[in-house]
């Protein structure tokens, strides 16, 4: 049986996972009440049942009012802060809806952590930095096509503005194919479809047809340039996919390492 009149033995404290400074904070004079039961429960000493006094009922009543006002305050605050996100959210939104919610929540967390966070300063900075990095990744993930279009645009800036062959049909509908660059009165490129053709084209009687180039050397130069363009576009798409994969991988690392630390 433990003698509570004596100070706690440090070896015993270690078994209870108490630090030395924790044990030093307690003394006989600071003990208000001791009982065997559940933490924070208030038992009647004689019957062993919880005693619901008038004072306790009044305390609960005012606590409920206080809690309601507190919830009302945050309901109004959240409505203002989340209004834009909620307005853009639709039942059919998959990834984009979830990403929007995460971005709004993390930005809210960062703002609150800066103002009210009570963690040690260096740890606080690390939490904010990890949340900011997560937001940056989520912003890029909002539009998955951006990974590909960004890489593609970097390639397009280095080459002439290629155009596509547009074909309209009598029964309706149209198709868009190939990359073509102008040479003189015609176009150089590769026409796809069932009968792919490559070289110099002109419109003859309203039809786009392969014909003799007025300057074959120039045509070959443009075709080689176009081949290089297609190769770089392919590499750009590979880079876009790799960048997307890296962001997914990094996002997983951040969530695993920090999601449970983004609170006080």
- For residue 125 the two structure tokens come to 């900075």
Q: What are phi and psi of 7, to 5 degrees?
A: -65, 155
pLDDT higher than threshold 90 for residue 228: yes
3-state SS string over 21-67?
HHHHCCCHHHCCCCCCCCCCCCECCCCCCECCCHHHHHHHHHHHHHH
pLDDT higher than threshold 90 for residue 233: yes
Long-range own/partner contacts, residues 130-133 (CB < 8 A, 24 or more apart): 130/254, 130/257, 130/258, 130/261, 130/262, 131/106, 131/258, 131/262, 133/250, 133/254
CA 38 → CA 13, 35, 55, 153, 237, distances in Å?
Answer: 21, 9, 21, 65, 61
Distance of alpha carbon 24 from alpha carbon 32, whole angstroms: 17
* Confidence band of 22 (pLDDT split at 50, 70, 90): very low
* Confidence band of 58 (pLDDT split at 50, 70, 90): confident
Determine which of 4-13, 115-124, 132-141, 191-200 has the lowest per-residue pLDDT on average. 4-13
Determine which of 20-24, 30-34, 69-73, 126-130 has the lowest per-residue pLDDT on average. 20-24
The per-residue pLDDT of the chain, averaged, comes to 82
For 209, which DSSP code? E
Determine which of 72-86, 93-107, 151-165, 241-255 has the lowest per-residue pLDDT on average. 72-86
Distance of alpha carbon 32 from alpha carbon 42, whole angstroms: 13
pLDDT higher than threshold 60 for residue 4: no
Q: Helix, strand or coil for residue 197?
A: strand
pLDDT of amino acid 84: 78
Q: What is the DSSP string of 111-136?
A: HHHHHH--S-HHHHHHHHHHHHHHHH
Q: Which of 220, 160, 223, 216 is nearest to 191 (CA)?
A: 223
More reliable by pLDDT, 46 or 52: 52
The average pLDDT across 42-61 equals 68
Torsion of CA 96, 102, 108, 114, to 10 degrees: -130
Q: Helix, strand or coil for residue 37?
A: coil
Determine which of 10-14, 68-72, 149-153 has the lowest per-residue pLDDT on average. 10-14
User: 157-194: per-residue pLDDT in tens?
Assistant: 998 889 988 888 888 888 888 899 999 999 999 987 77
Longest dimension (CA), the chain: 111
User: 129-140: per-residue pLDDT in tens?
Assistant: 999 999 999 999
Strand order from edge to edge, sheet including 186-191: 163-168, 174-183, 186-191, 197-204, 207-210
Are the CB atoms for 101 and 89 separated by under 8 Å?
Answer: yes
The average pLDDT across 195-214 equals 91
Q: What is the gyration radius of the CA atoms in the chain, in angstroms?
A: 35
Pairing of strands 186-191, 197-204: antiparallel
Distance of alpha carbon 87 from alpha carbon 103, whole angstroms: 15
Extents of the domains making up the chain: 9-76, 179-258
């Amino acid at each position: 049986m433990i003698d509570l009149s004596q100070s706690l033995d440090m070896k015993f404290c270690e078994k209870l996972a108490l630090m030395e400074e924790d044990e030093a904070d307690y003394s006989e004079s600071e003990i208000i009440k001791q009982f065997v039961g559940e933490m924070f429960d208030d038992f009647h000493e004689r019957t062993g049942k919880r005693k619901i006094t008038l004072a306790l009922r009044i305390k609960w009543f005012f606590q409920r009012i206080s809690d309601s006002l507190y919830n009302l305050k945050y309901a109004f605050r959240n409505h203002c802060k989340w209004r834009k996100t909620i307005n853009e959210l639709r039942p059919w939104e998959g990834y984009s809806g979830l990403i929007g919610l995460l971005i709004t929540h993390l930005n809210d967390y960062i703002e609150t952590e800066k103002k009210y966070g009570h963690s040690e300063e260096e740890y606080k900075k690390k939490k904010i930095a990890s949340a900011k990095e997560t937001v940056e990744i989520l912003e890029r993930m909002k539009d998955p096509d951006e990974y590909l279009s960004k890489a593609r645009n970097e390639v397009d800036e280095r080459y002439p503005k290629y155009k596509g062959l547009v074909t309209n049909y009598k029964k309706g509908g149209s198709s868009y194919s190939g990359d073509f660059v102008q040479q003189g009165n015609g176009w150089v490129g590769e026409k796809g479809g069932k009968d792919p053709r490559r070289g110099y084209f002109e419109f003859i009687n309203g039809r786009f047809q392969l014909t003799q180039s007025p300057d074959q050397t120039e045509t070959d130069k443009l075709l080689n340039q176009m081949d290089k363009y297609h190769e770089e576009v392919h590499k750009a798409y590979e880079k876009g996919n790799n960048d997307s994969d890296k962001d997914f991988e990094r996002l997983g690392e951040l969530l695993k390492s920090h999601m449970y630390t983004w609170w006080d």
